[in-house]
Chain A
Amino acid sequence: EIVLTQSPDFQSVTPNEKVTITCRASQSVGNGLHWYQQRPDQSPKLLIKYASQTFSGVPSRFSGSGSGTDFTLTINSLEPEDSATYYCHQSSALPRTFGQGTKVEIK
């Protein structure tokens, strides 16, 4: 199965700061890589699909890039409501897999 490794595991940032989360795949997933946000005690929500397409209704401060094995989720100008855990997910192969998650805390 394809292993997705996110870094960092945890990040503490101040409001308005820029956040960068990376996701590395153990083999190429093409652009079949998606990002989700999970706030505490909530279901995950789709942020970015196919590496760089922002999902409907997602604020423009969220963006994604990458292809193949290396991907990045960027949050420009962090807002307090962005405190959450972020997961990458690949749909290139079965079984589908998720990264271990990156927790973003607001200082």
Chain B
Amino acid sequence: QVQLVQSGGGLVKPGESLRVSCAASGFIFEDYYMTWIRQAPGKGLEWLSHISTTSEFTKYADSVKGRFTVSRDNAKNSLFLQMNNLKTEDTAVYYCARGTLELDYWGQGTLVTVSP
């Protein structure tokens, strides 16, 4: 069955960096675009970024453009989100999801807390 298992969240200070990961299994990873979404505490869903199958195409929300970088390793069936210059408003649960149109499977989420 399709599984997306996330890791790498934690507590960091403003200005610091963090990388979250998403390990995929149960499907042919290299055949799918992948997407990152986040959810601030008590808030709704915010689309952040997606990456094409070969990493040729990436796109970012304005809120994270220039600070966050999405990447993937198809040989290791893994998706990454490198987050630099983190701000307190980046505090959220981060989700990876399969696809770029309908998001049919989601990871369990990983909490990133940015606090002085």
- List residues of chain A with CB under 8 Å of any chain B CB: 32, 34, 36, 38, 43-46, 49-50, 55, 87, 89, 91, 94-101
Binds A, one of B8-16, B71-79, B95-103: B95-103
A101: which of B44, B104, B108, B109 is its contact (CB, 8 Å)? B44
Query: Interface extent on B, as a size class?
Result: 20 to 34
Docked CA distance A97–B59 (Å): 13
Do B44 and A34 have beta carbons less than 8 Å apart? no
The 7 closest A-B pairs by CB, nearest first: A49-B102, A91-B101, A96-B47, A43-B106, A98-B45, A101-B44, A34-B102
CB closest chain-A residue, reference B96: A43
A-B contact pairs, 18 of them (CB 8 A): A34-B103, A43-B107, A43-B108, A43-B109, A44-B45, A44-B103, A46-B102, A49-B102, A49-B104, A87-B44, A89-B103, A91-B100, A94-B59, A95-B47, A95-B61, A95-B62, A98-B46, A100-B44
Q: How many A-B residue pairs have CB under 8 A?
A: 54
Is the CB–CB distance between A87 and B45 below 8 Å? Answer: yes
Q: Which residues of A contact B95 (CB under 8 A)?
A: 43-44
Q: What's the nearest-Cβ distance from chain A to residue B88, in Å? A: 22
Pairwise interchain contact B106-A45, C-beta atoms closer than 8 A? yes
Taken together as a complex, chains A and B put the C-alpha atoms of A100 and B102 apart, in Å, by 17
Contacts of B104 in A (CB 8 A): 46, 49, 55
Q: Which residue of B lies closest to A92 (CB)?
A: B101
In the complex, A44 Cα to B108 Cα: how many Å? 9
Which residue among A89, A96, A100 has the maximum number of chain B CB atoms within 10 Å of its CB?
A96
